[in-house]
Structure 1
Amino acid sequence: MKKTYLLLTALIVFSYTAIAQAVPAAAKMNQFIDQLMQKMTLDEKIGQLNLLTPGGGIPTGAVVSTDVEAKIKNGQVGGLFGVIGAEKVLQAQRLAVEKSRLHIPLIFGSDVIHGHKTTFPIPLGLACSWDTILIKQTARAAAEEATADGLSWAFSPMVDICRDPRWGRIAEGAGEDPFLGSAIAAAMVRGYQSNNLRQDNTVMACVKHFALYGAAEGGRDYNTVDMSRIRMYNDYLPPYKAAIDAGAGSVMSSFNVIDDIPATGNRWLLTDLLRNQWNFNGFVVSDYTSVNEMEAHGLGNLQQVSALALKAGLDMDMVGEGFLTTLKKSLQEGKITMRDINNACRRVLEAKYKLGLFENPYRNVSTERAATTILSPDKLALSRKAAAKACVLLKNDKTILPLQHTGTIALVGPLADSRRNMLGTWSVSGDWHHAVTLKEGMENVAGQQVKIVYAKGANISDDSLFNKKVNVFGPEIEMGPATSDVMIQEAVAAALQADVVVAALGEAADMSGESSSRADIGLPESPQRLLTALVHTG
């Protein structure tokens, strides 16, 4: 009884001390932002709600912002994404801090989905490990690299539950299980943010896509979502809630509708649920031009949908510039209030304050740290460990595995010697030139008594139109001069002289991901014919 009493007393003292320390910190932040906002003009407040990208190979929407430098100097930009690298970030941050009137720093974000420069298995693969400690470590490693590249904000974790594997973006999440998805969501947030956002090696997490994005009808990206509240709360909302409870600093709205209202303009979702029920106190950013895309839902012109989004609880407009160009007019016409603008501006400024950007706008900008942190040996070792744990062995007939260090191996398939596809979808900052192909890896470990005979066997796909779409970011599906029949004959010949066949078949990196939903997720025709021919060799 005495031990219980002492423990309870210690917990009360600890809780009181923690609250006493937190209150002054919150009061200090409020005082700082109050004083700053008193100095800000209406245009500068609206500018903080504007997130732009100068382009440079961003693997998402087609819109690229213009006159970015002038807008930064005029205080019309709150943050940038797609600017990666200490020197580039330094150049842009100097414009904001040294050339704008109030010297308010920018927040720099990017899609850090499964690693930054060191690439880990795609999230769906990592989820197969069921190892939340490992997954947290991968997020921690990604944060260390991203901050060394000047970033302070990660558009991750993607926690959308999906029950239709045809949805292309299932690759970015944990799959269909809300229990596993919740555990991974919390682990990734804690990995990114650690215990102190002001540390040089932490990034603010951005939970996406809020909400229900993975429940698109027919597995088609951007399609309608329609479900009951029971299914919503039981099956789809838990991972978002887990990420919020883990302390995520920001949330990204989704493209889909909820109760026939787009998420980006849905007040029940962004205010009633997220802020009032779940007590979220961070800021909400739209997905890429999702404010503008509400026009296509018949909710009005750009001015009307921008006002709708702001009043719903959206704080930052990604790329579309509807807030920047219309909110002032909406205020004059009484469509929105000054309180609406102030609330959104305050939340964005609070995020920057929590990240320590007012204290040190250049906190993450260090070419020296980048040189020692990015692709460091410990991170590469972690990537290898994660890849091993993500593999799922479905069957080991006649104990074929592990392969013996003797004899002849026929290594066959369009992915057997493909460096470009090793990183997987949404490896935004990863450099595939650093990847090791399966063929190279096997040759590195096989030893002198193993002969490896290689044959491509098939193209990933022989559909030229399909291949053109997949190759939009680079040649992932390469078609040589040989016909399908000739390649299969070469592969069969290799198999007939071997003791075992290793067939590397599957998808090119961007056959899954955003806007890459497939009606049939089986092997394309050519690799399927190859596999059938290999099986027939016995």
Structure 2
Amino acid sequence: YGAAEAGRDYNTTDMSRQRMYNEYLPPYKAAVEAGVGSVMSSFNDINGIPATANKWLMTDLLRKQWNFLGFVATDYTAINELSAHGLGDDKKVSELALNAGIDMDMVGEIFLRNLAQNIKEGTVKQADVDQACRRVLEAKYRLGLFQDPYHGVSEARAKQVLMQPAFVQAARDVARRSLVLLKNDNQTLPLKNTANIAVIGPLADRPLDMLGNWSGAGDAKQAVSILQGIKNVGGATIRVTYAHGANVTEDAQLIARLNEHGGQLDIDPRPADAQIAEAVAAAQKAEVVVAVVGESQGMTGEAASRADIGLPGRQLDLLKALKATGKPLVVVLC
């Protein structure tokens, strides 16, 4: 995935074996040598052959050259997606994947529906299916799942570990250390002796967007928005004024698509200029402005690549208007 052309998810990867061996394969080889138990095949093709049907990659390299003994799982529905690469119908891609060295079909059920027929037609060997099953069962055995199928999973344990203060604080510390301060003109940060802050922007009061893309089981109800975080820190000693300022985007089609996938975007129906004017009025009454702008959590991530990395919608116009007020301006880019 790291070498997909143009940086687009699932796009083709085309490189020489020399570059592959020297630059991309070493960390994977190190993981195998350290005893990793499973490997996942990617969606994209490698030099013209999709990884999930690539016998050189999954068998010749992984098992014969590196002596990998674990099991190979596909990425989510990767066997199904071989058809999109033009490799054939379900029965054909089932054959190609199993013969390439795939042991487990993640979610797609291609193996479940087609391997029996593949064996009958002689395109897949019973021994290879048995080997794939053995590898998966061996992994389950080593994990103790034969004795305890739900090992480590219980409501009691969930209460002991999920959202515990020490773990939340550790996550907060990791997040804090990942932030990048691009510049700090006039030493505006950290904010000092500030009694009146205007917090402005479409992402300022968005706990869901604090989780980011692919947050798994993340609970937005447990997240803290930047607006709320500033209020929590300042307490009764500061006055915080909030203005929406702009919609994340003015693209109605994109908004609908994001909301279909849990975006929960609330769109201000007022004209964009009216929203900006309201934000400017709030900024003019404050000592410092904190503008929170960027992308909603569904705009960029797996299977979501924007063609333009600029701020979407009227957010750049909002920033220009806030800067024109002359007030100290802190921009938080999400």
Displacement of 1:394: 1.2
- How well do the aligned residues superpose, as a CA RMSD in angstroms? 1.7
Please list, as runs of the form range in 1=range in 2, the aligned pairs for 1:73-472 lying within 5 A after superposition: 213-472=1-260
Equivalent in 259, 275, 290 of residue 487 of structure 1: 275
Q: Is the 8 A contact 1:476 1:509 kept in 2?
A: no
Contact 2:247 2:313 in 1 (8 A): no
Residue by residue over 1:382-411, the C-alpha shift from the partner in whole angstroms, topping out at 9 and shown as x without a partner, is 111111111111111111111013332111
- Displacement, 1:294? 1.4
Residue matched to 1:150: none
How far residue 218 of structure 1 moved from its aligned partner, in angstroms, is 2.5
**8 Å contact 1:476–1:508 — kept in the other structure?**
no
- Structure 2: give runs of 5+ residues left out of the alignment: 327-334
SS at match of 1:453: strand
Structure with bigger RCO (C-alpha 8 Å, 6+ apart)? 1
Letter in 1 for 2:204: A
Q: Find the residue that maps to 1:336 and give its secondary structure.
A: coil
For 1:339-383, what per-residue CA distance to the aligned partner results, in whole angstroms no more than 9, with x for missing partners?
A: 211210111001101110112223223211111211111111111
Instruction: State the aligned residue count.
Output: 326
Aligned match of 1:506: 294
| Letter of the 1:492 counterpart | V
Counterparts of 1:537 and 1:239, CA distance in 2 = 51
CA contact (8 A) 1:419 1:432 kept: yes
Residue identity (%): 56
In structure 1, stretches of 5+ residues that fail to align are 1-212
Q: Return the TM-score normalized by structure 2.
A: 0.92
CA distance in 2, matches of 1:229, 1:476: 45
Measure, in 2, the Cα distance between the counterparts of 1:342 and 1:348. Answer: 10
- TM-superposed deviation, 1:429: 0.6
Gap change, CA 1:239 and 1:494, over 3 Å in 2: farther
Q: Distance in 2 between matches of 1:256 and 1:507?
A: 26
How far did residue 462 of structure 1 move? 0.9
CA distance in 2, matches of 1:238, 1:411: 46
Cα gap change, 1:217 to 1:409, in 2 (>3 Å) = same
| Secondary structure of the corresponding residue to residue 199 of structure 2 | strand
Could you say if the C-alpha distance between residues 404 and 226 of structure 1 is closer, same or farther in structure 2, counting changes exceeding 3 Å?
A: same
Corresponding residue for 2:320?
Answer: 532
Contact 2:263 2:296 (C-alpha < 8 Å) held by counterparts = no
For 1:510, the aligned partner's letter is G
- CA shift, 1:328, in A, is 1.8
| Aligned AA (2:46) | I
Shift of 1:262: 0.8
**Structure 2: how far apart are the matches of 1:274 and 1:465?**
44
Question: Please, what TM-score do these two structures have when normalized by structure 1?
Answer: 0.58
Give the corresponding residue for 1:105. none
Structure 2 letter corresponding to 1:218: A
Letter in 2 for 1:236: Y
Checking the alignment, whether the CA contact within 8 Å between 1:405 and 1:449 is kept in structure 2 is no
Distance in 2, matches of 1:285 and 1:440, equals: 42
